[in-house]
């Protein structure tokens, strides 16, 4: 077994995609395709997450309490982000659902992408393949947007994103428990 050298940004994407899939059966190759990683990258990601206790021993179920704590308290320190210039892109953080209705009038935040239709301040996505991975899943887009709100938000945005993530994770935990 390789030494654990810490979490990587793609690990958050993989874990959130597993939450997105819920009880849907998945194989590592399918997960790789869905998030834009190689099978080897997904395999290493699953192992890092298992080692960090963010996944159970079978590497099939996300430990949502631990993931929530990591996202809320560690993400902005481990994966900081700088705001960029105004560009066209895909809405994220408080510019995307489910936060958009609560923060109408706030300056838009986007992941730079020709696939997007909104103009706003640019932030780099947590991992480069995020912009493609979210195009096929509204739920993953929302989970990644909530994650970005935790990375760049002020107290109000962080509190609401944390609460919504907690609710989503509770639903996932109840779903996979049975």
Is 138 inside a domain boundary? Answer: yes
Torsional class of 11: left (φ above 0), alpha (ψ -120 to 50), beta (otherwise) = alpha
Average pLDDT rounded to a whole number, residues 79-107: 94
Q: Does 101 share its domain with 34?
A: no
Instruction: Tell me the pLDDT tens digit for each residue of 104-142.
Output: 888 999 999 998 999 999 999 999 999 999 999 999 999
Domain count along the chain: 2
Domain that holds residue 13: 9-78
Q: Which residues contact 70 (CB under 8 A, 6 or more apart)?
A: 7, 52, 54
38: domain CATH number is 1.10.10
Smallest CA-to-CA distance from 133 within 30, 24, 6 is with: 30
Looking at residue 31, what is its pLDDT?
96
Q: Does 68 share its domain with 123?
A: no
Last residue of a domain, one of 61, 78, 95: 78
Look over the chain and give the mean of its residue pLDDT values, rounded to a whole number: 94
Is 19 inside a domain boundary? Answer: yes
Q: Does 25 share its domain with 47?
A: yes
């Amino acid at each position: 077994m390789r030494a654990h050298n810490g979490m990587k940004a793609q690990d958050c994407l993989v874990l959130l995609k597993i939450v997105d899939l819920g009880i849907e059966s998945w194989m590592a190759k399918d997960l790789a395709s869905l998030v834009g990683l190689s099978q080897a990258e997904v395999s290493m990601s699953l192992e890092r997450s298992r080692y960090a206790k963010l996944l159970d021993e079978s590497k099939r179920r996300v430990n949502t309490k631990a993931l929530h704590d990591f996202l809320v308290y560690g993400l902005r320190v481990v994966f900081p982000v700088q705001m960029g210039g105004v560009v066209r892109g895909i809405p994220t953080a408080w510019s995307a659902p489910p936060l958009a209705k609560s923060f109408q009038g706030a300056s838009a935040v986007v992941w730079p992408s020709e696939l997007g239709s909104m103009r706003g301040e640019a932030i780099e996505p947590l991992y480069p393949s995020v912009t493609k991975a979210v195009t096929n899943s509204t739920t993953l887009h929302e989970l990644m947007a909530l994650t970005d709100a935790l990375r760049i938000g002020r107290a109000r945005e962080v509190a609401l994103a944390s609460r919504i993530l907690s609710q989503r994770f509770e639903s996932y935990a109840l779903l996979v428990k049975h």
